[in-house]
Structure 1
Amino acid sequence: MSKDIEKPSFEKTNVMNPLISIIILNYNAGDLLINCVDSIKKSNYKNLEIIVADNTSNDESHKKCKEKFPDIKLIENSENLGYCEGNNVGIRVAKGEYIVILNPDTIVHSKWLDELLSAYIKNGEGFYQPKFLASTDHSMLLSTGNMIQIFGFGYSRSKGDIDKGEFEKFERVNFASGTCIFTSKKIIEEIGLFESFLFAFHDDLELCWRGALMGIKSFYVPASIVYHPIEGYSFRWSPLKFKLLERNRKYCLLTLYSRSTLYKMIPALFLVDIAVLFFYISKGLGRMKISADIEILKNLKKINEKYKKNQKIRKINDSELINQFKNEVIVPQWVIKDKTNSLFNKFLIILSKITRIIL
């Protein structure tokens, strides 16, 4: 991680007062949505617009929110467009110079937006994320930046750990968490919107990795605090989530790595695929793994078209990106038992080190 980036201080930075658009995608979030908007209203930074894009909620949460906060902009989608396209709808109508993608089950600290804006102005174009703390236990970390393992797995650093003050430096990370991403409208216009094919999961990883191809970096801003449930209200660890994670991991590999890199990784990726299959079978989710692979095969034409687009915008080679990526995947024990996680990581670390030599 870079250590030469100065930690931002909003008080030190004489910034203007640009409009910031906050986009909240809602799907049956209930009172969580109202609580989220209420916390945004208490932010120190006031020049903002709040856009709620609703994915056909049947709990009336979006309408209740509009009744309580008439000044929000409410978009009612005609169908559930998923995380990606649902947020894209909000981005398209946003008028702000800066964009925030924010989950409806979050509560924001009063200075969260000041610090994100200050970090962007001080350090330039990029994707920025705050420090995430558990909403029920403010001593528990949920993310101090998100990481990419070289075989396409994404994970939140420090998830489930106690906050001991170890991650208080502003620094570069592999990708910014989709729970709260801060960037500029200019960046979105330059690299494009969320990839709608993904629907949900690894969407933030794909967006930031795509940006990294163009030299656009991701950063962690510890001075900005956002509170979030230990696991989000939507999907949680359902069979569908496991399927989308695996399908979208492969989509990212096939569209973001160059073909020459992928060819060299084929033996390792084959072994990883076997390991993932056995893991899914052990969870009773073998059908989800097979379904994920079938969907990749069915969409090879789409994947190849996206690959060509990504290679046209590429300014950074894979070796430079891979130097930033990790060998292991750190997963909380409530998702994968310590023993299983340890064995899988030993396997990944050995395979990753060998792969790095080949590359």
Structure 2
Amino acid sequence: MNTSTDTPLVSIIILNYNAGQLLFNCVESILKTSYSNFEIIVVDNNSHDQSHTKCKEFFPQIKLIENKKNLGYCEGNNVGIRSATGKFIVILNPDTIVSQNWLDELIFAYNRNGDGLYQPKILSLYEDGILQSTGNMLHVFGFGFARDKGNPDDLKYNKVEEIGYASGTCLFTSLDVMKKIGLFDPFLFLYHDDLDLGWRAFQLNIKSYFVPSTAIYHAESYSLRWSEKKFFWLERNRRYCMLTHYSKDTYKKMRFSLIAIELLVWVFYLKKGFVVAKIKAEIEILKNRKHIEEKYLELETKKIISDVEMIRRLPDEIFVPKNVSGEYGNRTFNRILSRLSRKIKRDIQS
């Protein structure tokens, strides 16, 4: 790592919460990066495993910020962004290993395609050649999903392309773009934070891109995995994003399809044994109606791209991993989703 002025400085922000050895491995891989001008900012969310202090002792060149409490993914990363001095920033999970050329390729893609949010190919750290994401996608009902997750990497993508939103596992952009979008929304705390950011970016005509020429390797969800607590955050934040991002006119035109989807979601949570998580998510939405309305009004005043234009570009189906729902359940769910999605695309034109 050096401070050469030949290349712009990249601030790499790693948010740590009891990541243990994973944090060490991540930092070690970054230090092998072929791009020379970067800083590493480790923001710790009050870990009790001391991984952050041990990492600082072993890698004294990193900048360590210690939060007094767990601020969550969103505000934790915001702390790092506010302390960043680079032209570019990377939001990087601590349970990742980066490729040697990752920054070179992401910067090259940014310079060719312009302001935007970028993600590399994400592969499994523990399953050789298995994809975790070739771009994250947004569905009209607020569901977010990683394209090709669990599939073998067949190298079918060979050029930079627009996607729904860039994965928060490894998100690259400029500091100016991040400030223009408005950083991460602290209300979300964790999960769907990248979806929300990409959605807000698109409304400002800032696109998200997938860069297939480089990859990172991800252990995935080292803290919560697929748990009732995770389902709570996913559902709470999905509902929050829909209520704050869609105009009231759009919501009105979607109301019948939304009722049908809500019934499906209730059935899904009941079958998974997580109905309490769904109830808690709905209570949270009701308790925060005032904040939701204020956020809605803020986003409506900034919106450049209309709901109609955005919805028209969204996929009709989603991908659900088999460990979340069986193959038959996925097919049934997607058949219903597709019909309702196509109906909405017709309805919003009226």
- TM-score scaled to structure 2, two decimals? 0.97
Q: In structure 2, give the amino acid aligned to 1:212.
A: F
Q: 1:177 is matched with which residue: 167, 177, 181?
A: 167
Q: CA contact under 8 A between 1:56 and 1:77: conserved in structure 2?
A: yes
- SS for the counterpart of 1:37 is helix
Instruction: Quote the Cα distance in structure 1 between the aligned partners of 2:128 and 2:101.
Output: 16
Gaps in structure 1 of 5+ consecutive residues: 1-14
Identity value in percent: 54
Question: Is 2:196 the counterpart of 1:206?
Answer: yes
Matched residue, 1:280: 269
Superposed displacement of residue 349, structure 1: 0.8
Superposed displacement of residue 311, structure 1: 1.1
Question: Is 2:61 the counterpart of 1:87?
Answer: no
Matched residue, 1:18: 8
Matched residue, 2:256: 267
Matched residue, 1:61: 51
Spell out the pairing of 1:222-261 with structure 2 (5 A cutoff): 222-229=212-219, 231-261=220-250
- SS for the counterpart of 1:131 is strand
Q: 1:156 is matched with which residue: 124, 141, 146?
A: 146
Matched residue, 1:108: 98
Superposed displacement of residue 16, structure 1: 4.8
1:83-138 C-alpha deviation (Å, 9 max, x unpaired): 00110110110111111000000000000010001111111000000000111223
Matched residue, 1:322: 311
Superposed displacement of residue 143, structure 1: 0.3
Matched residue, 1:331: 320
Q: CA contact under 8 A between 1:174 and 1:324: conserved in structure 2?
A: no
Q: In structure 2, give the amino acid aligned to 1:278.
A: V
Superposed displacement of residue 163, structure 1: 0.8
- SS for the counterpart of 2:223 is coil
Q: In structure 2, give the amino acid aligned to 1:161.
A: N
Matched residue, 1:51: 41
Structure 1 ranges of 4+ moved more than 2 A: none
Instruction: Quote the Cα distance in structure 1 between the aligned partners of 2:257 and 2:154.
Output: 36
1:283-329 C-alpha deviation (Å, 9 max, x unpaired): 11111101101100111110111111111111111111112211111
RMSD: 1.0
- SS for the counterpart of 2:68 is coil
Question: Is 2:55 the counterpart of 1:72?
Answer: no
- TM-score scaled to structure 1, two decimals? 0.94
Question: Is 2:304 the counterpart of 1:312?
Answer: no
Question: Is 2:300 the counterpart of 1:300?
Answer: no
Superposed displacement of residue 234, structure 1: 1.6
